[in-house]
Structure 1
Amino acid sequence: MTGGRDVAVTARVGIALGIAVAVCFVTGLLSHAIAHPQPWFGWPTAPVWLYRFTQGLHVAAGIAAIPLVLVKLWSVWPKLFERNSRGRGIPGVAVRLLERGSILVLVAAIMFELSTGLLNIAQWYIFGFYFPPVHYAMAYIAAGAVLVHLAVKLPVIRRALGEPVGRGRTERERTGPSRRTVLRGTWLAVAVATVATVGQTVPLLRRVSVLAPRSGEGPQGVPVNRTALAAGVIKAASAPDYRLTVVDGARTRTFTLDELRAMPQTTRHLPIACVEGWSAGARWSGVVLAELLAAVGSDADSDVRMVSLEPPGPYSRTVLPARHVRDDRTLVALQINGETLNLDHGYPCRLIAPSRPGVLQTKWLSRIEIQR
């Protein structure tokens, strides 16, 4: 290999890529566990921005990994097709096959994760499968391939990291960019890619994040993923006979919209954060969920099932854990930023709870069921 195409560059870019993949993997597991909770898993309600941070970090790390993958592939591409005469015999062949096989799986899995993740951020679902479970399953394959690759190449990586970046071929022997040039260009590409997209999570960078899929624009200044039209709830949500039903075993009580408005109103500043990485802060006003349950003689020590006016679907029914039910920042919201909820934001009322994925902040509430 010539110029920047050598193990010193490959190892350093690989370390950065490994860190980005590890961050994506851990934050992705957290997001999956929150959206599909298990009895052993508990997600806190504070700080209220925690999910916003972890999911924003997940997407930012994924975006940063794209130039890292491209540079790493560029740096090793000629090497992939070299015939290695060392390590003859069955053990040597087995090691080479394991090495090349791990690289093939590693590249395929990471490229799949990054490309489908990027399409998911843009909500461009051209692939013919349901994104969450496939993305989740492939993450384990990518993580496993990284570990195998590290185990096989660890001696080479150690030697390469011990070699100064400035040391290399003479100008006469060099036919490509120097190591320093390649590495500086890589870090610059990572910085540009991150800044150009992270504004969908970091409001201060929104103006310069020219490639951010979510600009912060939307009804009442907050983006939406799923509109009332797409959910098929316009007629039901706008009906004059709308009622919110609260069920606790044999006890049932219904509330009109006017009755909800007549109850004590509380305002909280909470972010709404999407699994796709975007987030926005807003002032939400409505009835504290625990107080609404108390009005029907129920306590806030149980999980609660939130049912939307939407037809049955993956997230039209969600379960709110008891720790969120008890939190006085969890609202049945009627307003956003001082205005009545727009239909696309969940009119006539919706759930808003701290540190929770937006997809689980059930819109167009029709029924609340206490789980015993």
Structure 2
Amino acid sequence: MKDTTTGGPRRFDLPLPQPPARLRIGPLREGTFRSPLHEPRTAVVIGRWLGAAIVLCFLTGLLSHILQDPPGWLRDHLPSRPVNGYRVTQGLHVIAGTAAIPLLGAKLWTVYPKLFEWPPARSVRHLLERLAIAVLVAATLLELFTGLLNTLQWYPWPFPFRQTHFWLGWIITGALLLHVAAKAATIGEHWWRVRAALPGRRAFLGTVTASVAAVTVTTAGQSVPWLRGLDLLAPRRPDLGPQGLPVNRTAAQAGTTTVPADWQLTVDGPVPLRLTLADLRAMPEHTARLPIACVEGWSAAAEWTGVRLRDLLDRAGAPPGARLRIVSLEVSGPYAATEMAPTYARDPLTLLALTVNGRVLDADHGYPARIIAPNRPGVLQTKWVSRIEVLG
């Protein structure tokens, strides 16, 4: 390219000094990689599958982050419907992330000879393009690795998972857009058209497809009920646990195995309330079938019975648009106290639940009372409730 003002090459197209040819050894030698499948068409086919999985992961992960930690302008307007919204979106998030693992492996195998291309960098533009790809690959590997361990609730690293996962998602998305822009011509040329049927391409793509299908079918049952019988590799079985429901944080871990004999629910509103368990049981009961849906990807539905939260708020004189702060008997932990938007608080399906599936709550499920609300992350379904504060 010529600069229109000086007639010289553009800054980013300036050639770089090249290393001597004697350094071209091992995998740097020409002809080292002989498989015909290290070619653009195969890379584009796998790349569009992987790109779709990454975009789906990003969008559903962004939604999960907003529901857990909404910006101030949105916090009072979070939707409580559809009832199974979070169950579906977070299930898709983990399913897509799991499927992306074999896809990423296949994509990297297809293009890894590019790591050893000669010369290593032909120009400033070429060097910047390679650096952007390095960022994309490194961030994606870290994102998928930490996300997979999160489904196992194993955090062997010193940094906070949720915030790191969130920002890695933005880095990956930005680097992916740059990569697609840089390779737009190649992608367009090989998107649909197959110039030649390479030996082994169909078998390779079929193997990748079968691998993704196998991983998906054997893990998606933790969030897709009709695949539960094939839930062989998922870290959780949604039908196993106290009262037939899984538990992420037990009463022992939260320090709530012993509930005070004189436990009372305090509702701090314009008309303060102090209600015993007997008082709550004497109030009109309501039953709702709602899921517990957790960030790790598992979900399970149950029938919850208790007092509608809006009935408690009406007795406490809370205004219709009031936000709530719900405090647990748990003395520490990131979700010992949570806030609730008025859209949830006033939804007729949102309950202060006292029983699940017709039985008194197990200690691990939040005895004596817990919050259950539609379209809400499981970490915000506060257990062992002791206080509800009307924030105005």
CA distance in 1, matches of 2:81, 2:209: 34
| 1:80 Cα deviation from its structure 2 partner | 1.9
1:239 aligned counterpart, secondary structure: coil
Alignment of 1:137-152 (within 5 A): 137-152=167-182
Which residue is equivalent to 1:209?
231
Which residue is equivalent to 1:284?
304
CA contact 1:290–1:299 (8 Å) conserved in 2: no
CA contact 1:63–1:193 (8 Å) conserved in 2: yes
| 1:276 Cα deviation from its structure 2 partner | 1.0
Which residue is equivalent to 2:352?
332
1:110 aligned to which of 140, 161, 167: 140
CA distance in 2, matches of 1:149, 1:26: 19
1:307 aligned counterpart, secondary structure: strand
Matched, 1:53 2:122: no
| 1:224 Cα deviation from its structure 2 partner | 0.9
CA contact 1:165–1:179 (8 Å) conserved in 2: no
Larger radius of gyration: 2
Matched, 1:23 2:46: no
Matched, 1:38 2:52: no
CA distance in 1, matches of 2:192, 2:224: 37
1:120 aligned to which of 150, 159, 162: 150
CA distance in 2, matches of 1:58, 1:43: 19
Which residue is equivalent to 1:234?
257
CA distance in 2, matches of 1:252, 1:313: 27
| 1:297 Cα deviation from its structure 2 partner | 2.8
CA distance in 2, matches of 1:257, 1:363: 15
Q: Gaps (5+ residues) in structure 1?
A: 169-173
CA distance in 2, matches of 1:303, 1:165: 61
| 1:3 Cα deviation from its structure 2 partner | 3.0
2:219 aligned counterpart, secondary structure: helix
| 1:140 Cα deviation from its structure 2 partner | 1.0
| 1:84 Cα deviation from its structure 2 partner | 4.9
Residue identity in the other structure for 2:70: P
Which residue is equivalent to 2:202?
180
Displaced runs of 4+ in structure 1, greater than 4 A? none
CA RMSD, Structure 1 to Structure 2 (Å): 1.5
2:123 aligned counterpart, secondary structure: helix
2:385 aligned to which of 365, 368, 372: 365
- Structure-1-length-normalised TM-score: 0.92
Which residue is equivalent to 2:3?
none
Matched, 1:131 2:153: no
Residue identity in the other structure for 2:236: R
Q: Gaps (5+ residues) in structure 2?
A: 1-33
CA contact 1:48–1:270 (8 Å) conserved in 2: yes
Residue identity in the other structure for 2:105: L
1:318 aligned to which of 323, 338, 342: 338
CA contact 1:67–1:186 (8 Å) conserved in 2: yes
CA distance in 1, matches of 2:335, 2:55: 28
CA contact 2:254–2:332 (8 Å) conserved in 1: no
Which residue is equivalent to 1:171?
none
- Structure-2-length-normalised TM-score: 0.88
Matched, 1:11 2:44: yes
CA contact 1:247–1:369 (8 Å) conserved in 2: yes
Percent of aligned pairs with the same amino acid = 49
2:229 aligned counterpart, secondary structure: coil
